[in-house]
Amino acid sequence: MHDAPATPATGSAPVVDLGPRFAAFAAGLTRPVVFFDIEATGTDPNADRIVELSVVRINPATEGEPGGILPPRTWRINPGVHIPSEASEIHGIYNDDLANAPSFARVADEIAAAFQGADLAGFSITRFDVRILQSEFVRASRLVDFSRARIIDAQVIYHQREPRNLAAALRFYRGRELVAAHGAEADTLASLEVFAGQLARYEDLGVGIDDLHAISAQHNDAYCDAGRRFAWRDNEPVFNFGRMRGKSLRWVASDPTERAYLRWMIDGNFDEDAKDIVREALRGRIRASMRARSTAAAAPRAGLA
């Protein structure tokens, strides 16, 4: 719980500690660069809200000022809306933690000052962080223009320089090149080799199918269906597309007018697993996440213990 608007970390990392190439980068700056990261109530940059924001500003050297990395500043922010349990389990920030935290509008001027005149940098900020920050400033009636800011996205650089495809995996795990890539047989054999290489490299990786399935499914745990038409929020489905995006399936199914949208989905070009979720909702049953079902199943046993 943060009563103060922002909490500066102690000390700062000298540029030299990050290597000579970074020192050259910092020395060549003509305007500040702000590295930042955001935690939020969800993944929709337009509908969700910021709960934590941290910035590290790098100022260029100017006449009489050496420049360098300023101490980090971090704001905990009361979003004014409920934080879903799925989001809290990722970033560790719960509704009670923010009861006394300021709203974004209250600290908007401080945050704007931290970004003033700066270019932007971070990891995967282009898709989400920049957009949700802009949305929060708009809601706070604070005009902050990022249109001229240049952006360094370390994730984009990472993906360009370290491809995450089958050929790269075969090279990494087995030390050989993929011949006849995109032929079904060659790709199948390569994937088998990659998996064998992973088992050999990671001794803590379980060899049981259940353990391997659990790891492989983690990437999609946030979604209710393969096509990601619905996402879990507080263990129930919410729409992840279209005009209903961010609305709970329970609410849509209970509204006589909006139920027509669900019938449109059943007749439309959607995957069957998404249609099954909709059919259940139209019958009055809202699907619960596996985690919620597991908790409910364990509750009677816990009571008898």
User: Could you report the per-residue pLDDT of 51-76, keeping only the tens digit for each?
Assistant: 999 999 999 988 667 788 899 999 99
Q: Which residue has the higher pLDDT, 220 or 97?
A: 97
pLDDT in tens, 100-143: 999 999 999 999 999 999 999 999 898 889 999 999 999 999 98
What percent of the chain shows pLDDT beyond 90? Answer: 51
Q: Quick one: which of 94, 104, 50, 53 has its CA closest to 74?
A: 53
Answer yes or no: are the C-beta atoms of 139 and 105 closer than 8 Å. yes
pTM above threshold 0.85: no
In whole angstroms, what is the distance from residue 259 CA to residue 292 CA?
A: 25
Distance of CA 178 to the CA centre of its chain: 32
CATH 3.30.420.10 spans which residues of the chain? 7-158
Identify the burial level of 294 via C-beta atoms within 10 angstroms of its C-beta, where 0-12 means exposed, 13-18 middle and 19 or more buried: exposed
Strands (E), 109-209: 119-122, 151-153
Counted residue by residue, the chain has a size of 305
CATH number of this structure's domain 7-158? 3.30.420.10
